[in-house]
Amino acid sequence: MSRSNIPATRSAASRGRRHTAARAVRIVIDADDHPAWTAAALDAHSPENGRVTLHPSPGSSAPPALAQDILCALGKRLPPRGMDAPRHRASWADMVGPAWTAAASWINAYRTGHLIVLRAHTLTPARWEQLDTLRARTGIHLTLIWHRKPDTRLTEHAARLSTGYQKTDGFDAARDRLREKGPAHPGTRPHTDGPDTHTRGSGHELIEQVQQIGHPLHAGLLAAQLLSHTDEAEQLAAVRLADLAPDATALALPRRPYRPTSTRHWHSVLTWAQPLLIAARAWHYLNGHHHPSRHLFQHTNFHHHNQLTDILTASGITPAINILTGDPAWPTPATPPR
């Protein structure tokens, strides 16, 4: 294993564009697959400092698998997967677009600045493209660790990147790179407090469960429900992007009748809930829904209703959402025999 302090670097421009070294993807070469490199990457994992180290699940070929790994590395719990579940019970996390958008939303909400990916040589070119797209959507610094000697596969994979890249094969230089925080200032992390700074017991456990929910809209809706002590689905459905303060320290809920012109009552947002609401807002922005009148907790299909209800069955609370009665995709209860 080389321990040179002088990295061997190479810059490349892709797709006819030039980028600064600060934005380039860093490819770390661990030619001998030495345990010290993996240990250094795992030691660098520090979400509270804006660094996340990802160890991809081995053998998983599902298209959204890498996004699911990122969500788990961020402390998120994915919906249970039922092999025999009907189509209307399909998980959002098993769909490529929603899974990657959720990962990007949480990275933005927690202000994660640096993503380190181990075993990059085992990932397909499509996975490299997905990571590069995530980097472009979030501004995150991306470091890929290649645990084998450079070869034509590395060249082919790197050609998929939309930005330049730098190659490093010196251990000390690579270790210094792994410790970088990235461009974002780390934000509030999950599990730093409960519903307030003194709450313990069942209330604290409930908050932890909500903080672990993987879908940003699900987590944000439940955070708003718990903060405002409301169980009116119509009231939460009427909350707009404009009703969340820019720093997510306050949330306005409309008074009856629930219209855009209704007067609103502002609620303070406790620290634990702020990143959940920021992630919900980021979900809309990443999907191109920027208008302030956009409904923050609007659930647009049956997947949200089914899965959110399933998640909370064991929690003892009922989500403030309306069942989509009359929707052809909604399961119709069987008629009991006479």
Output the CA–CA distances (angstroms, integers) from residue 301 to 44, 329, 332, in the order listed. Answer: 39, 9, 16
Averaged pLDDT for residues 256-275:
90
Averaged pLDDT for residues 115-142:
94
pLDDT of residue 59 exceeding 80: no
Tell me the range of 32-46, 58-72, 157-171, 312-326 where mean pLDDT is highest: 32-46
DSSP string across 258-292:
-STTS-EEEEE--GGGHHHHHHHHHHHHHTT---T
Residue 140 vs residue 262, higher pLDDT: 140
Could you give the 3-state DSSP secondary structure of residue 97?
helix
Q: How confident is the model at residue 305 (pLDDT cuts 50, 70, 90)?
A: low
pLDDT-wise least confident of 50-59, 215-224, 316-325: 316-325
pLDDT of residue 283 exceeding 50: yes
pLDDT of residue 245 exceeding 50: yes
pLDDT for 100: 96
Residue 329 vs residue 34, higher pLDDT: 34
Averaged pLDDT for residues 81-105:
77
pLDDT of residue 230 exceeding 90: no
pLDDT for 102: 96
Helix, strand, coil shares of the chain as percentages rounded to 5? 40, 10, 50
